Structure 1
Amino acid sequence: MSRADRFTGKSVIVTGAAQGIGRGVALAVAAEGGQVLAVDRSVVVDEVVAEIVAAGGSAASFQADLETFAGASAMVSEAVTRFGRVDVLINNVGGTIWAKPFEHYEEAQIEAEIRRSLFPTLWSCRAALPVMIRQQGGTIVNVSSVATRGVHRVPYSAAKGGVNALTASIAMEATRHGIRVNATAPGGTEAPPRRIPRNAAQPSPDEVSWYQGVVDQTIDSSLMHRYGTVDEQVAPILFFASDESSYITGSVLPVGGGDLG
């Protein structure tokens, strides 16, 4: 099988597929022959599927709130109904909602950050595992972050630390069923402006300064002293999702220009 056909005949769920890295992953998997279920809670995901189909690929969209187990279960059921199986699950939902020193976070904001950046991956893995166990095979790729060591994002850092832990622990349990579980940990990534912002509120002067602190720390921590591109994040995700990584499981790969998190 050539590199361009790594996902031919495979059913692939991509979450957070409407924008950014998730969109790039969905387009790339489809271009390599995969049947893609592009999942997001935004209707924008329909445009991604339309782009895939226009290019001759195979894809369907599904809207779900993956912060709930019901949403994750519905997503997996949709993939099985459409494609008959789930070969690959790529968990891409998550992202900082607020950037501020920890003492400035409100209780509700802390809970919202954890719900946003931990639970979609946790629930999606839980929903997909019974299907993959019945198949006696499957691949899960979680998208974590090098921000497990980072300023002004403590709740997000904690959530992504949880993603790293569940990646390792599920891998230990699932290997006997032929299931591999790995994660990439992106660093700062240049992406087009979000069409659906995580936080639509106008930032205060303090919030602007605090976010600049995140940017400065990200660049300073990276040996390359720059942000990455979406394509530079997509490539290692596809490697873990493909059979090229058949002897790797339970691993978290930093993709942050030398920032190890």
Structure 2
Amino acid sequence: MSAPVGEHDAVPPVLSPGRFAGRSVLITGAVQGIGRAVADRVVREGGAVTVVDRADLIASVADELTAVSPESIRVTPVEADLETFGGARAAADAALTAHGRIDVLINNVGGTIWARPYHEYSADQIEAEVRRSLFPTLWMCRAVLPAMVDRGAGTIVNVSSVATRGVNRVPYAASKGGVNGLTSALALEAAPHGVRVVATAPGGTLAPQRRVSRGGDARTEQEKTWYSQIVDQTVESTALGRYGTLHEQASPICFLASDEASYITGSVLPVAGGDQG
């Protein structure tokens, strides 16, 4: 399902001006989707932002975000493959070089590549799904933690999914279950160092047509049927009976990333219209 292509051009319906003023915020997966919406909101709320993506479009996205910054704060783009620790470390180093510290990390990289029953996945496809939807979050948490621990402060917001209980995407579900486990376990380790670790679990979300394909687009009639089963199950599981919007996903992520959530850690917040996963 898709929303109007211009959704990223719209000002979020609710803003908290100055909420991220003086904060260095690193946002991954920022070229499109939830990551792009989060970056837009953080910039409008005064954050000094480093945006990361493996697509070279990230440079033009940074220019677009700089243009809407209320203080004309330059947004720092980083092109990196976060499926590797080297890429994650390069992203963290770039943020530290540009802003001197990382106050907030928001992990958005991930997403189902293929839609099919588990017995129809090849071994290579299973590994690719896990690399896409678990390792970028694992690596980025590891890359930023030393700087946060040294400062005795920081917040990590992971974007998980309610699809840990869903059809036709078992490897993705397992990856997001790993993100949930990472969130709760790391929160216990990090709390004594003044670092919070939280997550949201989005449900079905409307978004503009993807600027960069995940690579597993449904092509055959069978693949289209398997994908339709995901959509049908999502709508049936959602109490509100509809998909959410990008703004409805970005808003709780930014709340958890802010000082308004200073007494919340280790929690995974479903943002799915009543679908608990």
* TM-score normalised to structure 2 length: 0.92
Q: Quick one: which of 55, 65, 75 aligns to 1:42?
A: 55
Q: Which residue of structure 2 aligns with residue 12 of structure 1? A: 25
2:19 maps to a residue whose letter is: R
Spell out the pairing of 1:147-162 with structure 2 (5 A cutoff): 147-162=163-178
Alpha-carbon deviation of 1:29? 0.4
Which of 200, 205, 226 is the aligned partner of 1:189?
205
1:53 matched residue in structure 2: 66
Is the Cα contact below 8 Å between 2:167 and 2:230 reproduced in 1? Answer: yes
For residue 175 of structure 1, report the CA deviation from its aligned partner: 0.3
Amino acid at match of 1:116: R
Output the amino acid matched with 2:178.
Answer: G
Structure 2 counterpart of 1:132, which letter?
M
Gaps of 5+ in 1: none
Residue 57 of structure 1: CA displacement?
3.7
The corresponding residue for 2:103 is: 87
Q: Call closer, same or farther: CA 1:196–1:224 in 2, change over 3 Å.
A: same
User: Aligned equivalents of 2:128 and 2:254: distance in 1?
Assistant: 29
Do the aligned partners of 1:145 and 1:160 also contact (CA within 8 Å) in 2?
yes
Relative distance call for 1:200 and 1:251 in structure 2 (3 A) is closer
Which one of 27, 33, 42 corresponds to residue 40 of structure 2? Answer: 27
Alpha-carbon distance between aligned partners in 1 of 2:74 and 2:201, rounded to the nearest angstrom? 28
- Structure 2 unaligned residues grouped into runs of 5+: 1-14
Q: CA deviation at 1:201?
A: 5.2
Please name the residue that 2:125 is paired with. 109
| 1:112-261 paired onto structure 2 within 5 Å | 112-199=128-215, 203-261=219-277
Q: 1:223 to 1:202 in 2, by over 3 A?
A: closer
Greater Cα offset, 58-67 or 151-160: 58-67
Amino acid of the residue matched to residue 257 of structure 1?
A: G
What is the deviation of 1:54? 1.6
Q: Percent identity?
A: 59
Using the size of structure 1 for normalisation, the TM-score is 0.98
CA positional deviation for 1:31? 0.6
Q: Kindly provide the CA deviation profile for residues 47-75 of structure 1, in whole angstroms up to 9, marking residues without a partner as x.
A: 22111212234311000000000100111
Q: Paired residues, what number?
A: 260
Structure 1 residue matching 2:75: 3-state secondary structure: strand
Q: SS where residue 185 of structure 1 aligns?
A: strand
**Partners of 1:57 and 1:205 in 2: CA distance:** 47
Aligned alpha-carbon RMSD (Å): 1.1
